[in-house]
Amino acid sequence: MRRVSIFGATGSVGVSTIDLIARDPEKYKVVALTGGRNVARLAEQARALDAELAVTCFPELKEELADRLSGSGIAVEAGPEAVVEAANRPADWVMSAIVGAAGLLPGLKALEQGATLALANKESLVCAGEILMRTAHRHGADVLPVDSEHSAVWQALVGEDISDVERVIITASGGAFRDWPLEDLPKATPEQACTHPNWSMGQRITVDSASMFNKGLELIETREFFGFQPAQIEVVVHPQSLVHALVGFRDGALMAHVGPPDMRHAIGYALNYPQRRSLPVERLDLVEIGALEFRAPCEIRWPALRLAREVMEIRGLAGAAFNGAKERALDLFLAGRIGFTDMAAVVESVLEAMQAEDALKCDRMRLEDVIETDHFARKRADEAARRINKDS
Ligand code: NDP
Ligand code: MG
């Protein structure tokens, strides 16, 4: 039996992962499941899968989780350290689907015990790609892409020589405000930003899709996963979300990955790799679809793309600063304390300030520097937001 753990089990990717695992109960032994606020769902999942351990990252919810699991024999833990500790339990395959930089430490711990890490948590790669890949290498562990675009690139590269690749194109739906007049964007509300035209995802990544911060993170993720130069990586707006990515080779061929917007495809590919197994996803009817639409991304509408390219130029700790500032700006937007377009202004201001202070350089990335940069960027984001509010 394959031992699997799922970090962020109660979220959108976690639930899709469990949907696949639960279809093959005789194949998997579930070791650890972790969640956050949704302890009711976590307890239900742990019972259904007969997990060894259930962990909520909130210490104050431990009692409730324990009550819900009483009599089950399932161990219960709580708190951020307990989440990391859960990754220490031997497992063969670990899904990293916590949202945000909080996914970094559990992912590293899973790699240290040699598990294959299926990585939905792109923030880990953006903040500390160098450390994650170094850790995987040192422990002979694999990091597999789960983000749909990166799974698509990975699949298009099977059997190819990476030096034959000229360019990679990742697609973006354009999110909730793709067709809004530019002058309306500053007034966009969190509620409006939390709807996605094609994908059903967690709240934070849905807003990041509307602002294109998600695609900015994914530009960096593409470089970290595959080692392409920033100039080789392009973003194209594709409102239908059917073509997830394309890889262009030196002979002019473009290999596209086409599929329905259902994360169970990318999760299933990482779960079954190197095999392909039947998956419960919709089969596309190309005639019904009729035509595929592609557009150039507008950098005025989506400054996050320009900022992500700057981050790729700066390198070093810029990814950690970018992500930390972005996460904090998103918190402030969701709390109604800054406007939608202020998020990019906050992140830009943090990057500028930290670069001016020479705080983003590093020769060899160290974990403590990444964590400090993340904290500092969040603090700086608060200051930038206060300035923006005072000026407006
Ligand atoms: P969700 O918000 O739906 O789920 C996040 C999960 O993480 C939940 O289990 C949540 O618990 C838990 N969690 C939240 N905060 C913390 C914390 N501080 N420490 C530990 N656990 C925490 O997110 P998604 O499933 O949408 O996304 C997960 C990751 O996958 C993100 O990195 C996202 O960018 C990436 N991704 C998602 C895709 C999607 O289709 N959803 C597609 C591609 C990538 P609870 O809900 O119980 O509070
Ligand atoms: Mg994606």
17-57: per-residue pLDDT in tens?
999 999 999 999 999 999 999 999 999 999 999 999 999 99
- Range name among 25-39, 131-145, 192-206, 367-381 with the lowest pLDDT average: 192-206
Q: What is the pLDDT of residue 197?
A: 84
Q: Report which bound ligand comes closest to the CA of 150.
A: 2
Answer yes or no: is the C-beta of 13 below 6 A from any ligand 1 atom.
yes
**How does residue 149 score in pLDDT terms, banded at 50, 70 and 90?**
very high
- The span from the CA of 145 to the CA of 210, in Å, is 22
Instruction: Report whether pLDDT(249) > 80.
Output: yes
230-254: average pLDDT: 98
Q: For ligand 1, what atom is nearest to the CA of residue 148?
A: 43
Ligand 1 centroid vs 129 CA: distance in angstroms? 19
**How does residue 198 score in pLDDT terms, banded at 50, 70 and 90?**
confident
186-212: average pLDDT: 94
**389 against 149, higher pLDDT:** 149
SS3 readout for the chain: CEEEEEECCCCHHHHHHHHHHHCCCCCEEEEEEEECCCHHHHHHHHHHHCCCEEEECCHHHHHHHHHHCCCCCCEEEECHHHHHHHCCCCCCEEEECCCCHHHHHHHHHHHHCCCEEEECCHHHHHHHHHHHHHHHHHCCCCEEECCHHHHHHHHHCCCCCHHHEEEEEEEECCCCCCCCCHHHHHHCCHHHHCCCCCCCCCHHHHHHHHHCHHHHHHHHHHHHHHCCCHHHEEEEECCCCCEEEEEEECCCCEEEEECCCCHHHHHHHHHHCCCCCCCCCCCCCHHHHCCCCCECCCCCCCHHHHHHHHHHHHCCCHHHHHHHHHHHHHHHHHCCCCCCCHHHHHHHHHHHHHHHCCCCCCCCCCHHHHHHHHHHHHHHHHHHHHHHHHHC
Q: For ligand 1, what atom is nearest to the CA of residue 106?
A: 20
Answer yes or no: is the C-beta of 98 below 6 A from any ligand 1 atom.
yes
Answer yes or no: is the C-beta of 6 below 6 A from any ligand 1 atom.
no
Ligand 2 centroid vs 196 CA: distance in angstroms? 13
Answer yes or no: is the C-beta of 121 below 6 A from any ligand 1 atom.
yes
Q: Report which bound ligand comes closest to the CA of 105.
A: 1
Q: What pLDDT digit, counting tens, does each position of 270-299 carry?
A: 999 999 999 999 999 999 999 999 999 998
Q: What is the pLDDT of residue 196?
A: 86
Q: What is the pLDDT of residue 175?
A: 95
Answer yes or no: is the C-beta of 379 below 6 A from any ligand 1 atom.
no
Question: How many Cα atoms sit within 13 Å of 388 on the Cβ side?
Answer: 24
Ligand 1 centroid vs 160 CA: distance in angstroms? 32
- The span from the CA of 319 to the CA of 172, in Å, is 20
Q: What pLDDT digit, counting tens, does each position of 155-169 carry?
A: 999 999 999 999 999
* Inter-residue contact 96 to 118 (CB < 8 Å): yes
Answer yes or no: is the C-beta of 96 below 6 A from any ligand 1 atom.
no
Domains along the chain with CATH numbers: 2-145 (3.40.50.720), 150-289 (no CATH), 315-391 (1.10.1740.10)
Burial of 75 (0-12, 13-18, 19+ CB in 10 A): middle
**Averaged confidence pLDDT in the chain:** 97
Q: Whose CA is nearest to atom 9 of ligand 1?
A: 8
Mutate to test the pocket of ligand 1, among 6, 7, 13, 150 (most ligand atoms within 8 A of CB): 13
- Range name among 54-58, 76-80, 195-199 with the lowest pLDDT average: 195-199
Q: Is 140 left (phi over 0), alpha (psi -120 to 50) or beta?
A: left
Q: What is the pLDDT of residue 372?
A: 98
Instruction: Report whether pLDDT(392) > 80.
Output: no
Q: For ligand 1, what atom is nearest to the CA of residue 206?
A: 26
Ligand 2 centroid vs 26 CA: distance in angstroms? 31
Q: What is the pLDDT of residue 328?
A: 98
Q: What pLDDT digit, counting tens, does each position of 323-365 carry?
A: 999 999 999 999 999 999 999 999 999 999 999 999 999 999 9
Q: Report which bound ligand comes closest to the CA of 98.
A: 1
Answer yes or no: is the C-beta of 120 below 6 A from any ligand 1 atom.
yes
Answer yes or no: is the C-beta of 37 below 6 A from any ligand 1 atom.
yes
Q: Whose CA is nearest to atom 41 of ligand 1?
A: 201
Q: What is the pLDDT of residue 199?
A: 83
Say what percent of the chain tops pLDDT 90.
Answer: 97
| Six-digit token string for 139 | 């422990």
Instruction: Report whether pLDDT(390) > 90.
Output: no
Say what percent of the chain tops pLDDT 70.
Answer: 100
Rounded to the nearest 10 degrees, how much is the dihedral formed by the CA atoms of 267, 272, 278, 281?
0
* Inter-residue contact 149 to 244 (CB < 8 Å): yes
Q: What pLDDT digit, counting tens, does each position of 102-121 carry?
A: 999 999 999 999 999 999 99
Instruction: Report whether pLDDT(90) > 80.
Output: yes
* Inter-residue contact 159 to 136 (CB < 8 Å): no
